[in-house]
Amino acid sequence: MDFTRIDELNAHLKTLRPLNAGEVRRLQEQFVIDNTYNSNAIEGNSLTLRETALVLQEGITIAKKPLRDHLEAIGHRDAFQYMLQLVDAQEELTEKVIKDIHSIVLMHDQANKGIYRRLEVMIMGADHQPPEPYLVPVQMEQLIADYPGMKERLHIIETAAALHVRFESIHPFIDGNGRTGRILLNFELMKAGLLPVNIKFADRLAYYDAFDACRRANNYDAMATLIAGYEEEELQRYIHIIKQ
């Protein structure tokens, strides 16, 4: 696959006047709210974008909305902010990193946060059966062991796509896999100097189709194409903001 356009846009962005700390913080806060809304909505959270902003910025409780939905919004925001700290420290992808992020995402579930599942699960609507529970630690260990070599051989977009598809296919936790997986995707993109991507709730069918296509073709091209589109969109948006 050809990622020349993304590489060119990213190189161009780095030549422009950097945003000051306040501007970066404001854009980051806006992204986290939007990303929290979309990532949670994909998983069935009922908060709207405006309600998500009110919960995260004002600490407001939305009437007639489940407490769980509020806690999912807070957990996702806190996990994303923790991920940013890991990016700054250039932490490697490890089992501890994955479990720590999941623990924050699933802050409302004390019994299951940061713990690999002990039950069989099904991914609704997908033609894929995740591995039995006893295989989860083995397959996660293999994924983490494979990842450095993948980064050496592939463009970061392809590598992040492979990580995302393999992680979600293992489905290592009883809940919170999608949200955790999308944060891990951005963790790797940002460590490589790219911008985080925001997979939209409105695009969820294309997102699900990309997983199915990757599994049928036994490659990661469909997910890489989806991620590349989001990355190009973010790079162009940042360039426009700075030039304005």
Q: Which of 70, 76, 155, 171 is catalytic?
A: 171
Are the CB atoms for 18 and 3 separated by under 8 Å? no
Closest of 3, 2, 14, 17 to residue 231, by C-alpha: 3
Whole-angstrom distance, CA of residue 4 vs CA of residue 12: 12
Give the pair of three-digit tokens for residue 125: 């609507």
Catalytic residue flag (residue 76) = no
Closest of 200, 204, 135 to residue 172, by C-alpha: 135
Angle of helix 204-217 versus helix 156-170 axis, rounded to 10: 90
Are the CB atoms for 129 and 122 separated by under 8 Å? yes
Are the CB atoms for 155 and 213 separated by under 8 Å? no
Active-site amino acid positions: 171
